[in-house]
Amino acid sequence: MKILVTGGAGFIGSAVVRHIIGHTQDSVVNLDKLTYAGNLESLLSVADDARYAFEQVDICDRAALDRVFAEHQPDAVMHLAAESHVDRSIDGPAAFIETNIVGTYTLLEATRQYWSQLDDVRKAAFRFHHISTDEVYGDLEGTDDLFTETTSYSPSSPYSASKASSDHLVRAWQRTYGLPTLVTNCSNNYGPYHFPEKLIPLMILNALDGKALPVYGNGMQIRDWLYVEDHARALYKVVTEGEVGETYNIGGHNEKANIEVVQTICALLEELVPTKPEGVAHYQDLITYVTDRPGHDVRYAIDASKIAAELGWKPEETFESGIRKTVEWYLNNEAWWSRVLDGSYSGERLGQA
């Protein structure tokens, strides 16, 4: 099978590409615009594989999409290309509307035209898998409630509203045009190659540098944490075994308050890097509480029983094992993250090289 992965140079997308090349016989076409979050250095381990190809393309560019479909003739699309940082969506929502809504629409139309011209066998086997987020559901009120595949949408930020819109578009293209789509909604991912603006890598790298560890509000916002490589396995399960028209929630079964996550990182660094930056007695002393984010959701938690029962997937990593692997990865891969921090990784330059 040949799979077109949009956003394949991003955090989750690159994990999906590495999983497919490393653990299956399938081929991958990585389609990525290479914005600030796209980093081809996350794919160096597969870049020379004969089953891997890269196309620097914006999903809003219909002509370029048509060319890619015509040249590569994929058997499935895994759509991960998206603007995904909530804070950035609050400061500048326009890019989120353009990429997440207009881009998804453009990709759906290019896919529909390509799919409609396939022979009956390839047409029946084709899949369009849209990867989304649990943030479309809003937040949970009760301490025991969980998001299920039938939870009503109630997005709180420009980011989650744009993702909710893209989810609706995908389902509408399946209902109206018969395009064979699947949707997954995942909880918070973490792990290797995570862009340093996100909570976990930001805390690791700030602590190593002796900088403040900013925690929103009282730090009691709860998230369900999913190790990115577990997520990549789940996504491949869905695109290859999932039922058309279905939605699958993917979670890590690891609910943690943000402050608990930060404290865990500090404790691991005390163990793994006992020699601290000058003036720092304990990493935990760097924790600083800052003004909460506007519209900040309080609690997310996924009920992932459907994908477990129907597709046999469950996470392999606990939060404790996954966060240790993540901290150790950042300690061992300074060359990767230092180039991200200083901007020298520049995905656009890499794409032209």
φ and ψ of 252, to 5 deg: -95, -5
119 carries an active-site annotation: no
Q: How far apart are CA 301 and CA 145, in angstroms?
A: 8
Q: What's the full length of the chain, in residues?
A: 353
159 carries an active-site annotation: yes
Tell me which of 58, 83, 135, 255 is the catalytic residue: 135
134 carries an active-site annotation: yes
Tell me which of 134, 167, 224, 255 is the catalytic residue: 134
- For residue 226, what are the β-bridge partners? 189
Q: How far apart are CA 306 and CA 253, in angstroms?
A: 13
Tell me which of 52, 105, 159, 330 is the catalytic residue: 159
**At residue 280, what is the residue type?**
V
CB 224 within 8 A of CB 300: yes
Three-state SS at 210: coil
* Token couple for 16: 């999906």
Q: How far apart are CA 268 and CA 259, in angstroms?
A: 14
The sign one gets for the Cα dihedral 149, 155, 161, 163 is: negative
Three-state SS at 129: strand
φ and ψ of 93, to 5 deg: -70, -20
* Token couple for 161: 């509203």
Catalytic residues: 134-135, 159
